[in-house]
Amino acid sequence: MVVRIDGVAVPETPQGYLVTIILGKLLLHLLRFTSPHLAIDASAGAEFSELWPAVAGTARLGSKGIDDKRINKVEKGAALRSLMPGVLLEAWKPATELPQSTLQDSMVKLPTPCGKHFIFYPANLALAGMRGVYHAFLTNCECGKSYLIVTEGDGAHFKLEGSQEAITDAYERAPGHEITLEDENGVFLCKRLAKEWGS
């Protein structure tokens, strides 16, 4: 998320992080700013109740349902509104509006979060993800950043960014066994995950 003020340039880095958690019929929408100086009052709409910071007598759980279309909007940060005049709260576009992946021969060309480069991974991993078989792999971007990527049912997701050492450590700790895929493009190492990432 970014905090925008009318007439001021869009920030180059995120100023807040949004997390959506669904536990049974309970949907939690969490917003944390990178600095207390950036924190603004915000609302996700009438069907949400503010649970924290707690204000005496205001926390309540609504009984009104929320459909998949609204959940998708909430997850993308599109439901949040600033309660301060002249201040906007928006999704950080480099994270939410990456170009679509494309298929090149037997590889998927995936744009990196920097917006300038691409990485490639075997299309077979994307197909396996659609069938519920997930994989993790690490890669390095041309700009020097390292990423841990996990394939899931809806595509490949950048799960972690950091130093090559930190990403390698996270990859090694991922629950699963390493496999080697080989074709005309060369050798590709990845882990077939024993369970869904984060579960």
Question: pTM score, two decimals?
Answer: 0.58
Bond before 53 cis per omega within 30 degrees: yes
In this structure, of 17-21, 46-50, 51-55, 114-118, the range with the lowest mean pLDDT score is: 51-55
DSSP type of residue 37: G
Mean pLDDT rounded to a whole number for the chain: 82
Tell me what pLDDT residue 122 has. 94
Q: Measure the CA dihedral 89/95/96/99, to 10°.
A: 140
**Residues of 124-146 as b/e, b for ≥16 C-beta within 10 angstroms?**
bbbeebeeeebbbbbbebeeebb
Judge whether 137 and 121 are in contact, CB under 8 Å. Answer: yes
